[in-house]
Amino acid sequence: MSRSVLVTGGNRGIGLAIARAFADAGDKVAITYRSGEPPAELAELGVLAVRCDITDAEQVEQAYKEVEEKHGNVEVLVANAGITRDQLLMRMSEEDFTAVLETNLVGTFRVVKRANRGMLRAKKGRVVLISSVVGLLGSAGQANYAASKAGLVGFARSLARELGSRNLTFNVVAPGFVDTDMTRALTDEQRAGIVAQVPLGRYARAEEVAATVRFLASDDASYITGAVIPVDGGLGMGH
């Protein structure tokens, strides 16, 4: 059955792989993008691209209106958009901290809250939040990012309790290191250091994260809610 799926930050990286996975499965997929133009392949896949900065409540509202008009109520939301602004605490400005929280945590709150309107009416819905292994293990130089990603776990688990009786599930995917623009910004030395700690000895492909997201949105995952699923090559090992 073709569902209305919305992926935030679906113009590149992990979000793009997630959008592709749902589109390949025959769902009606919409993505949000914040800057530039979405890649041409999205139009070829029949994916609707809507411009939206999730730090702006009005843009979130407009994006939902457009998606609802074209695809109907969002039945599956993947809150993927996120940023880093790495810095050691002593050098981290309040702006570096709040900007990351404002996108990764407050922005996610905005898109989830808006999606819930239609999901409550439909009495069904699947929400998947993209956190990070860093939110569970911590990471020197990423206090802002780790705090935002850990926050998503408490957020999802609270909503799983609040809205479980309405047939809505809320799950978190915690990727390890994935080969995208975000991690390409690291130095070769940093990358080698990370790979050395990963039992599977490599970065993840974005498609490997997308497969888990799709599973959590599928009928096979109908009894899974409030879960944090690592896709980290063993890096977090049980956290």
Known binding-site residues for NADP(+) equal 9-12, 80, 145-149
- Residue 180 or 225: the one with the smaller Cβ distance to ligand NDP is 180
**Of residues 33, 145, 203, 223, which has the active-site annotation?**
145
- Residue 53 or 208: the one with the smaller Cβ distance to ligand NDP is 53
- Residue 68 or 102: the one with the smaller Cβ distance to ligand NDP is 102
Q: How far is the CB of 167 from ligand NDP (least distance, A)?
A: 26
Q: How far apart are CA 168 and CA 76, in angstroms?
A: 10
- Residue 106 or 120: the one with the smaller Cβ distance to ligand NDP is 106
Q: How far is the CB of 99 from ligand NDP (least distance, A)?
A: 9
Q: How far is the CB of 57 from ligand NDP (least distance, A)?
A: 12
Interface with ligand NDP (CB under 6 A):
8-9, 11-15, 32-35, 52-55, 80-83, 103, 107, 130, 132, 175, 177-178, 180-183
Examine the residue annotation and report whether 223 is marked as an active-site residue of this protein. Answer: no
**DSSP result, the chain:** ---EEEETTTTSHHHHHHHHHHHHTT-EEEEEE-SS---HHHHHTT-EEEE--TT-HHHHHHHHHHHHHHH-S-SEEEE---------GGG--HHHHHHHHIIIIIIHHHHHHHHHHHHHHHT-EEEEEE--HHHHH--TT-HHHHHHHHHHHHHHHHHHHHHGGGTEEEEEEEE--BSSHHHHTS-HHHHHHHHHH-TT-SPBPHHHHHHHHHHHTSGGGTT--S-EEEESTTSSTT-
Q: How far is the CB of 90 from ligand NDP (least distance, A)?
A: 23
Structure-token pair, residue 215: 């599973």
Annotated catalytic sites, by residue?
Answer: 145
